[in-house]
Amino acid sequence: MPTGHSTPLPLSTWDRGSLRAVAMAHRHHRLGARDLPARNAAELAYLERHPTTPAHEAQRTVALMISAVARDHPAWLWRGVGAVST
């Protein structure tokens, strides 16, 4: 996985299943929570699909994936975040 780049990566950089699992885990855990639980859930979703990936590489990859999703689909990713449920 490329790191240290300055060009935004397209969503097609990753397989669709992994990207979807990571984005869904992040979004689900971000609703009503802080960033750390969401990031941890996204990393776990990635590692479930790629169990031989070292943790530090998974962390970088997940950060790039969430960044790409936030760039290309911000309304979907952040919808409901910070909303107060009654």
Q: Which residues of 16-29 are buried (b: 16+ CB within 10 A; e: fewer)?
A: eebbebbbebbbeb
In a domain, 23, yes or no: no
Q: Total domain count for the chain? A: 1
Model pTM above 0.75:
yes
CA atoms within 13 A on the CB side of 39: 11
pLDDT tens per residue across span 13-64: 889 999 999 999 988 887 766 788 889 999 999 999 999 999 999 999 999 9
Domain of residue 67: give its range: 35-74
In a domain, 39, yes or no: yes
Residue among 3, 86, 79, 82 nearest 35 (CA): 82
Q: Is there a contact between 67 and 46 (Cβ–Cβ < 8 Å)? A: no
Q: Is there a contact between 1 and 63 (Cβ–Cβ < 8 Å)? A: no
